[in-house]
Chain A
Amino acid sequence: MDKIIRVNLSEGTITTEPVPEKYRALGGRSLTGKIILDEVDPGCEPLGLRNKLVFAPGLLGGSFLSSSSRLSVGGKSPLTGGIKEANAGGTAAGALSKLGIKALIIEGESPLDYFQYLYVDQEKIELRPAEMAGQGVYSAAKLLFERYGDKASLILIGPGGERGYRAAGITNTDVQGRPSRFLGRGGLGAVMGVKGLKAIVIDPTGAEAIDYHDRKAFQELNKEMVKLLKENPVTGGVYPKYGTAAMATRTNAIHALPTRNFSAGSFECANRIDGEYLHYIITSRGGAGDTTHACMPGCVIKCSNIYPDAEGKELVAPLEYETIGLMGSNLSIGNLDDIARLNYLCNDLGLDTIEMGATIGVAMDQGLLTFGDADGAAALLGEVAEDTLLGKVLGQGALITGKVLGSRRIPVAKGQSMPAYDPRGVKGLGVTYATSPMGADHTAGNTIRAEVDHTDPAPQPALSRRAQPLAMIADFMGLCLFVMPALGAHLDKLGQICEQYCGLKISGDELLAAAEKALQVEREFNRRAGLSPAQDRLPEFMMDEPLPVSGSVFDVSLDELRKINEE
């Protein structure tokens, strides 16, 4: 990966630049973060022409190491007001890597009165009019595949992003061409939308094979890595069979499953939305259903799924835990078919299901709808689709919706909605929500796997402090976080395989040091953007309102939280 592509939408120019030496050892989240720090005015309006979007595969992007094809996107977030990185599996990172593209920088703002899309192949990079603007991601993707064939990878936004809704994400296509692998968080779909860019089409056809630094050694170590993944109880156990949905049983059991706008940590219908039931539904309905699906080429974990309707026809793929938690229990909806339908609607609009689940939860809590009203929730998404006044408010996410509706129970940290772990039940992740440069983000340092009492405040700061750089390592290597239970204890091997792939010599300790440095880069951007330790906290209702069954409040002290970013 030897070039950086810069697309200036204000000028309509596209330039190819060599990779500066200072960026060579960076990838994925560490590269998007550094470019944002170097190039973006930290005080800029996130939805303005001075913000930039940076796409980057990880250091291992394009290799065939399992689970290494995550695509990162970075920018200043319209939700948090700070730096943001979101990432997803899918095919786009591999396609960019095959074309030798280490980063794709989108800057400026188009003066045209129509949307464009960017076309990238081995010979040309062009902006073209996007006549599919206004369409949902499913029909827009269909049109682009008809035009460019199924070898292409697509990155695209839905109508939500086009309208600058802060709940909008960016999606990319999976191996079968579904536009449902979301780089969902932080409202970066809105950043893409205000720039006037609907999609990026990447066709790697004809690209030369990637030149490995030492292919033979890579293949040998890759075999060892696959063995570690398959033998590990996490990566080779529950994920392949039950997928992420299995988390619902666990969080429900420890009273951390968001329920009715984070007012209870356990849900009476949890056993109708959990991994076992999802598995039962998919296998009993058959048809297009699949319990064990890979979101990216070559993944051996295969935690994803295809969820069919009662006739066996595909309803949505994937149906994941975060959506089940936010659009299910958090709305008191105990029916997977309803959750799948809401998931599809959000996907098509290009909206983050976490942000929208939290938003509808707040709306229900404020009496706009009754908890459990799945048709009502779908109707609210209809308001968003129709761009009504109510829809415009909801599309801005939970914080703005909550303020408009007068809520004092808005489950956000730094303006971004919490994922499907109530921080009163998993306090280590609560520390991460409060202190990560990313805001409330379960991928920035999840502590759920630690064998500690998750409600005891004492061990949590240290757990979060350890988890945050490990998450960063996965994010800059382009690895799915789910490999870390198996490979996180083998950082030296990860360093070796990185060297065998791209020639970058790096030890396990150096990986950790690079992760710390990348976190410092993010904190520095946030500091310059005006964020301060005063924002490293959770909403007061979580500090004051005990969860009904466990009696737990979020009681990690503000002093402890402040220390996380001072170390």
Chain B
Amino acid sequence: MQIKVRLHDILQDKVAACASHEKGDFEYQLPASAPVSHLLKDLGLDSRFVGLVVVNGRQAAKDYSLQDGDRVELFSPMSGG
């Protein structure tokens, strides 16, 4: 299946593939129903560095099973502003 990925701010610096993608936006192939954690592993992102996952505009857990066409946004953790 193919999904759309958007890496926000600091996560763009942690994924080499982002260098060639405007604002950390890219499409990505994953096995059907792969969980978000599978994507993190593929991208080489330490799970500690991802504090918030949003799929299709809704917060999701890292074990959420992705579907074809999903749009996944990944954020590093923050503790306040």
Bound: A322/B48 CA distance, A? 25
Number of A-B contacts (CB under 8 A): 93
What are the nearest 7 A-B pairs in CB distance?
A321-B81, A247-B81, A244-B81, A446-B80, A449-B79, A233-B49, A238-B10
B1 contacts partner chain A, Cβ-Cβ < 8 Å = no
**Interface SS, A side:** helix
> Per-residue CB proximity of A13-35 to B under 8 Å, as 1/0?
00000000000000000000000
Does the CB pair B81–A254 fall under 8 Å?
A: no
Which residue in B51, B62, B77, B79 is a CB contact (below 8 Å) of A481? B79
Give the interface of B toward A (CB within 8 A). 8-10, 23, 46, 48-49, 51-52, 54, 57-59, 61-62, 73, 75-81
A275 contacts partner chain B, Cβ-Cβ < 8 Å = yes
Does the CB pair B23–A276 fall under 8 Å?
A: yes
| Given A233-B49, A237-B49, A253-B52, also A246-B79 (CB < 8 A) | no
Interface of chain A residues 459 through 511 with chain B (CB within 8 A): 481-482, 484-485
- Give the residues in chain B near A247, CB-CB below 8 Å: 78, 80-81
- Give the residues in chain B near A442, CB-CB below 8 Å: 80-81
How many chain A residues have a CB neighbour from B under 8 Å? 40
Interface centre among B51, B54, B59 (most CB of A within 10 A): B59
> Per-residue CB proximity of A314-332 to B under 8 Å, as 1/0?
0000001110010000000
Does the CB pair A234–B76 fall under 8 Å?
A: yes
Give the interface of A toward B (CB within 8 A). 233-234, 237-239, 241-242, 244-250, 253-254, 275-276, 279, 320-322, 325, 419-420, 442-443, 446, 448-449, 451, 453-455, 481-482, 484-485, 549-550
- Give the residues in chain A near B78, CB-CB below 8 Å: 234, 238-239, 244, 246-247, 250, 448-449
Bound: A245/B10 CA distance, A? 13
Interface centre among A245, A248, A451 (most CB of B within 10 A): A451
Bound: A550/B62 CA distance, A? 20
Bound: A549/B46 CA distance, A? 31
Does the CB pair B80–A443 fall under 8 Å?
A: yes
Between A and B, 26 residue pairs with Cβ closer than 8 Å are A233-B48, A233-B49, A234-B76, A234-B78, A237-B76, A238-B76, A241-B9, A242-B10, A244-B78, A244-B80, A245-B81, A247-B78, A249-B8, A249-B75, A253-B57, A279-B9, A419-B81, A442-B80, A443-B80, A446-B79, A446-B80, A448-B80, A449-B51, A451-B62, A455-B59, A481-B80
- Give the residues in chain A near B49, CB-CB below 8 Å: 233, 237
**Interface SS, B side:** loop
Does the CB pair A484–B81 fall under 8 Å?
A: no
Closest A residue to B59 by CB, please name it: A254
Could you tell me the distance in whole angstroms from the C-beta of A453 to the nearest C-beta in chain B? 6
Bound: A241/B10 CA distance, A? 8
- Give the residues in chain A near B73, CB-CB below 8 Å: 253
Bound: A268/B8 CA distance, A? 17
- Give the residues in chain B near A279, CB-CB below 8 Å: 9
| Given A241-B9, A420-B81, A453-B59, also A254-B76 (CB < 8 A) | no
